[in-house]
Every structure is written in structure tokens, then in C-alpha cells.
Structure 1
Amino acid sequence: MTTSTINRPQINAKIVHFGKLLKGVIMEEFDANVDQMDDPKDFKRYLDQQSLLTLPDIILIEVDDNKHCFDQIKEIKKNPLLQGLIIVLLGIKEDKSWRKMALDLKVNDYYTYPFPLEDFSERLNFLVKFKLIKPKLLELAQKVDMEYQIPWTKRAFDLVASGMALLFLFPIFIIVAILIKLESKGAVIYKSKRVGAGYKIFDFYKFRSMRSDADKMVESMAGMNQYANESDAKNGKAAFVKFKDDPRITRLGSFLRKTSIDELPQLINVFIGDMSLVGNRPLPLYEAEQLTTNEWSTRFLGPAGLTGLWQISKRGKKDMSETERKELDNYYATNYSIFLDLKIILKTIPALIQKEEV
């Protein structure tokens, strides 16, 4: 072991470095997980592809010969997912105006090279240890919620329509509840945590259509996921989970799913404001964590819904790819209106009868 290796600063963090001038110093001197890039387009693409599961801990950005420096910082600060990351600027010449701009943008630190590498490493470790740099899903929800508010006309329609539907369908609720109890042990209503508009987490209601131990069987059935073999999933888990011919479904449950009767308790979610009649389907936590990149998080800036574009487009069909579903979700989030909602509602009834066990 050489002396230089022994004295090399230790940083227990994942680092991203943007710049050319100090590239050799960063890559050679620091024993850390460093992603190096010097092209602005590559840097932007890298940041856009990050999710809660892949976020770096520290972003080092060079100021010299980087006309995009302060714009890059502004973009990072604007993104709810990235704005909690540690940002440290590096320069090779002192410039008071740059320091002032960095101070105004509230970066974590600014170093001018040459500087003691051990001190620099110690400072980075300190920032990592005492800063909450990885936003949790709930923290992200609080920030995104400020950007998304359901229009009052949509909320009023949801309240009236779901209230009337619950009153009219009450006898069906009673009959289905009795049949579920007669067929198998377990709760009548299946309740799970879902992520909806603005990353809001809520209790999601359905009539139970599976065995009571269905959740425990998911991991052993990973190979049956119809989205698992797509190109988007090759470098990690698929964003969505859907099983064809799911063995966990009961005989009554199969009928409830084919007729979408199992979805009726979600009218309660609509009535209390967790969801809307029309929107993007609220996702389980493990699916939502896969969709926190800039590219796909747009879907959470629209309402969560009982029905939506992908349900009336290709629900249950083999050619409904994960990418297509995400694109439809993004489209609805940026284009939804009362007229589009009415069109989706009118097309939902024919889409309720599924041909496949999915």
C-alpha cells in the first residue's frame, strides 16, 4: 500500500462532479464513488434520470469555464426531488461576484483550488452527516402539493357524483360483502397504502378479491410480472407490477375484477377527497418510488383517479407497455379538463369488462 493511498481522503458518499479543470484532482485524490461528466447535456440528462433510489449525496460543480454554472444550480433548486442535495462549487480563481451569486443561491460551500484535500474531505463528510439530503416520499409530497391543487369544479363534480353513486350502490355493497365473507376468511375491504396527486399517501379501498396472504406472495411471483421484461426494467425493477392469470385471486374475486365491482369502494376515496373520478391510478409505494425522476414524476402533478386514459385505451391488453402507460399518465396530468374527463367517463363503461386475468 503506497503512502498516497494511505493519505487519500475518505468520503463516505456518492459524488457527482461536473467540470474539466479539476477532474484529475477529484478522480485521483478522493476515494469515493464519483460520477464524472463535463458536458452540460449529459449532466442535465443524468439529473433528470435520478429517483429516490439513485440520488447522489453531493454535487460538485466547477465555476470556471462553465457559463451554465448558476443556471444549473437554479434548475437543481427548482426540482423538489433534488433541492435537498448538497451542492459545493469549485473554482481555480477567486471571484467575489461568483461567491455572491453562490451565496444568494444558498449553495452549501465554495472552494477555490488549491485547498487542503483532507479539510475538503472532512467538510463534505460533515455536510453528509448533518444534512437531511435525501427527501423521503412524505417530504416530497409536502413540496409537490404546493404546486398541485384540484380545480374546484372538478372537486364539486366528484363530491356530488360519488355521493349519489354510494347511495345508489349501497345494496350492492351489502351483497358483495356477504359473498366475500361466505367464500373465504379475511376482511371484506382490502386496504393498502397508495401514492396519489402530489405524492400524497392515503389508504386505498377495494373489495378483497385475493387470498388473505396475497401480499406475502408478491416476491415469489416476480417472474410473472408482465412488465418485467421491458427495456425500461433491464437496469432495475419495473415501475409497474401486474400479473397475468394471478393465482392469488379467488373465484369470486375473478368475477369482481372482470366486472370491476372490486373497485367500487374507491368511491369512498373520491368522496373524501383522496382521489378524483378521473385521473391517473394511485400507485403502491414500491411502484411510486420508481417514478420519481423528472421524466416520469409529471404524472403526480395531476389528480389520482378511479378511471383514466390508460384504462380506456388498452386496459388488460398484452401490448400495453409500461412506457405507453407512463406517457398516457403524463399526458393526462398536463392536459386534463372537464371535457376530457367527461369523454373518459363515457368510454369507461365499455372498458370495464376485461378479457384477460390481469
Structure 2
Amino acid sequence: MVGQFQHKLSDDMPNFRNLLVSNVAGAEKVITELKRLYRRLPAAIVFRVNNGFETGLSQWKEFFTLQPAMTAVPFFLLTDRVTDRVRSLKKEFPFVDDVITRETFNDLPGKIEFVTRFKNMQQLPPVQQEPALPVLAQKSNRWGYFLKRTFDIIASTSLLLIASPVMLLIAIAIKLESKGNVFYASPRAGKNYKIFKFYKFRTMVADADKQLAKLKHLNQYGNNDKGAVFYKVSNDPRITRLGNFLRNTSLDEIPQLFNVLKGDMSLVGNRPLPLYEAATLTTDEWAERFIAPAGITGLWQISKRGKKEMSAEERIELDINYAHRNSFAYDMWLIMNTPKALIQKDNV
């Protein structure tokens, strides 16, 4: 229940427990914790119509765009009275399932049950069609792959030519600052767990990998020995002064254009993972992230890059979200939204 509520659920609703938060940001945090701790979604979301509610609905729209799986949760508007403007919101914001008032508030359990059943019916697998349909789908997939690969080759070649003077300057600066190789290469797991050598400019001290075990207690994703494991350390002491600048400006990523040109990666996709991270994502549910190509930028980067509060489960969900929506048109949208995510908000 999101907003200013003056009453709670009736005692006639023993199967429901309500949690009240004041705004959309608070609701997003609660939903994230529900998924992280209990692997559950809320039974419904009730959003109170009051001053500034249209801004709140715009925030919900962005939330559902980034997490389309959440549209399976019934979403209700609670208002004192149903006006023409409130009715029009259902067309403007399609994720709104119904409008309720104080008088109909006690009917909420029945409405939740009805909307949930209706949405589950919509998500049933389609009836088997004529053989021509899968053939067309296969042609569409092949055409999408052709467009994606062609764009990757042209864009990576052009960007490498443009960036070559900058790459030379970065290489010289790395050599002058610290001992070690200019490039950092490590095995990563990409699409379908395919392992390849992944390139970046070196941003850490030469023996950084050997020091990883000592820094587990600083891991921003927590020290969970069970389930998914990601490692990312805020203010990592292994990062050099130049390396910190390269990371925060994403300049350390430029050598990955060679991976794109080779076909190991795409410009857009899910981040290829170090093998110790990929090894923890082998369950049927989590492995879905590996059906998408590995990429330099993607849904995770434009929505959560550099933010310390992100959980491992939230990151996996974003990757799976992209894997299911993967298309050339969606890639172009993500590329257009990448520039504003290039500058990190935290030193991680």
C-alpha cells in the first residue's frame, strides 16, 4: 500500500497482511527485499491517489518498463471519488488494473483474486499453431541476428579507429603509473556459458586477483556462500589512481570492442561473468541469463550501474529480463540510453 492511508485492512481479510510505504521508491525497496529474502512478489499493489500522484504513476511506469515481470502483480488505484480524470488514467497507464474507493476497499481480496486469475490466463502458453508460424519466427530470429552482428562489426570497427589515439595515451599512462601489463585479460563466461578471453585496460595493481580473498568482507553483494555470488567492492584498495578514473569514465571498457569484433560479445547484452561467478548461476531459473549474448552495455548498466544498494538477485533479474526481451530494436533503445550511465555514481 503506497501513499497516505487513513485506514487498514479489515479484520475480515485474515489471509492478507499489508505493508504501508509513503512513496514509490520505498515500495521498490520493499519489493526487492521480498524477492531477495522470500523469493516472493506482493499479492497486489494499492497506490493512493493524492497530490502528486501523476508523478508517482510515471515512476511506476518506469519501474514496470524495467521489470516487466512485475506486471503480473495486480495494481489498483485508491481514490476518494472516481472522476473522469481518474478513469482516463487506466488508458494512460495500462498497468493500472482497476480503480477502487473507500466504499469498495473491503472488496479488495475478491478483486485481487479475479485480476490474478485473469493475468495468469493471459500468460498461458499459446495453442500450437500451423507449422508456418515457427518457420516465420525462425526467419525473424535469423534476420535479427544478422542485423545485430552487422551493426556490431561496423560499430566496433568504427569506434576502434576513432578511439585509437585515446587508447595509445591510456596505454602510455598505465605504463608510467605502475608496473604490469597495459591490458587485463581474464576468462569469462558468455552466451550459453561459452568461455572466452575478455579484455580491459588494467585498472588495478598487477597481483589484484591474488588479493581477492582478503577483500570478501567488503563485497557490496554480501558474503553469501550459498546461491548467486557476485564480487564488487566499493573503494577497492587494489585500484590505481588512474584506474579509478578509467573505471568511473568507462574508458577501461574500450578494449572490449576487440571482443565484439571477434564475435565473443555484442555491443548490447548481459555482462560476461568471471568463472567463479558464473559457476554459481547454474540453476534452471538463474541460467536463463546466459541465453542472451554477452555485451558491453545492457539493461543492468543503464538502470543500476555503480549503485551499491543493488542485490545479486536484482542484478540477475535484470539480466533475465533482457534475455527474454532481446531484439535488435530493444538493443538500439538501450544504446541510446547508455551515455547517461557512463559516469558511475560510486567508486565500485
Say whether 1:214 aligns with 2:208: yes
Once the two structures are TM-superposed, the CA of residue 162 in structure 1 deviates from its matched residue by 0.3
| 1:281 pairs with one of 271, 276, 298 | 271
Say whether 1:174 aligns with 2:168: yes
- The answer to whether the 8 Å contact 2:228/2:281 transfers is no
Identity %: 58
| 2:151 pairs with one of 128, 151, 157 | 157
**For the residues of structure 2 that align with 1:289 and 1:214, how far apart are their CA atoms?**
21
2:199 aligns to what SS in structure 1? strand
Partner of 1:59: none
Once the two structures are TM-superposed, the CA of residue 342 in structure 1 deviates from its matched residue by 0.9
Once the two structures are TM-superposed, the CA of residue 314 in structure 1 deviates from its matched residue by 1.3
Once the two structures are TM-superposed, the CA of residue 357 in structure 1 deviates from its matched residue by 0.7
| 2:283 pairs with one of 271, 293, 305 | 293
> Higher strand fraction: Structure 1 or Structure 2?
1
- Superposed CA deviations along residues 198-240 of structure 1, whole A, max 9, x for unmatched, are 11000000000000010000001110111115xxx3x526521
- TM norm structure 1: 0.56
Amino acid at match of 2:146: W
1:151 aligns to what SS in structure 2? helix
Partner of 2:184: 190
Partner of 2:334: 344
- The answer to whether the 8 Å contact 2:228/2:313 transfers is no
Instruction: Note the residue ranges of structure 1 that are not aligned, 5 or more in a row.
Output: 1-147
Partner of 1:311: 301
* CA RMSD across the alignment: 1.7
- The answer to whether the 8 Å contact 1:228/1:238 transfers is no
Amino acid at match of 2:168: I
1:331 aligns to what SS in structure 2? helix
- The answer to whether the 8 Å contact 2:227/2:281 transfers is no
1:291 aligns to what SS in structure 2? coil
1:206 aligns to what SS in structure 2? strand
| 2:222 pairs with one of 225, 228, 248 | 228
| 2:193 pairs with one of 174, 199, 207 | 199
Once the two structures are TM-superposed, the CA of residue 324 in structure 1 deviates from its matched residue by 1.0
Amino acid at match of 1:215: D
- The answer to whether the 8 Å contact 2:189/2:196 transfers is yes
Runs of 4+ in 1 over 4 A off after TM superposition: none
**For the residues of structure 2 that align with 1:238 and 1:330, how far apart are their CA atoms?**
14
Once the two structures are TM-superposed, the CA of residue 338 in structure 1 deviates from its matched residue by 1.2
**For the residues of structure 1 that align with 2:347 and 2:147, how far apart are their CA atoms?**
36
- The answer to whether the 8 Å contact 2:183/2:202 transfers is yes
- Superposed CA deviations along residues 172-208 of structure 1, whole A, max 9, x for unmatched, are 1100000000000000000000000011000000000
- The answer to whether the 8 Å contact 1:228/1:237 transfers is no
2:200 aligns to what SS in structure 1? strand
Partner of 1:266: 256
Task: Choose 1 or 2 for highest CA Rg.
Answer: 1
**For the residues of structure 1 that align with 2:273 and 2:309, how far apart are their CA atoms?**
21
- Superposed CA deviations along residues 215-267 of structure 1, whole A, max 9, x for unmatched, are 000001110111115xxx3x526521110110000000000001000000000
Q: What pairs up with 1:11-160 in 2 under 5 angstroms?
A: 151-160=145-154
Say whether 1:322 aligns with 2:312: yes
Once the two structures are TM-superposed, the CA of residue 316 in structure 1 deviates from its matched residue by 1.1
2:197 aligns to what SS in structure 1? strand
**For the residues of structure 1 that align with 2:244 and 2:345, how far apart are their CA atoms?**
11
1:306 aligns to what SS in structure 2? strand
- Superposed CA deviations along residues 11-35 of structure 1, whole A, max 9, x for unmatched, are xxxxxxxxxxxxxxxxxxxxxxxxx
- Superposed CA deviations along residues 40-69 of structure 1, whole A, max 9, x for unmatched, are xxxxxxxxxxxxxxxxxxxxxxxxxxxxxx
1:174 aligns to what SS in structure 2? helix
**For the residues of structure 2 that align with 1:265 and 1:276, how far apart are their CA atoms?**
13
- The answer to whether the 8 Å contact 1:299/1:329 transfers is yes
Once the two structures are TM-superposed, the CA of residue 322 in structure 1 deviates from its matched residue by 1.0
Amino acid at match of 2:263: G
2:149 aligns to what SS in structure 1? helix
**For the residues of structure 2 that align with 1:210 and 1:303, how far apart are their CA atoms?**
27
Partner of 1:123: none
Amino acid at match of 2:194: K
Number of residue pairs aligned between Structure 1 and Structure 2: 208
**For the residues of structure 2 that align with 1:151 and 1:306, how far apart are their CA atoms?**
17
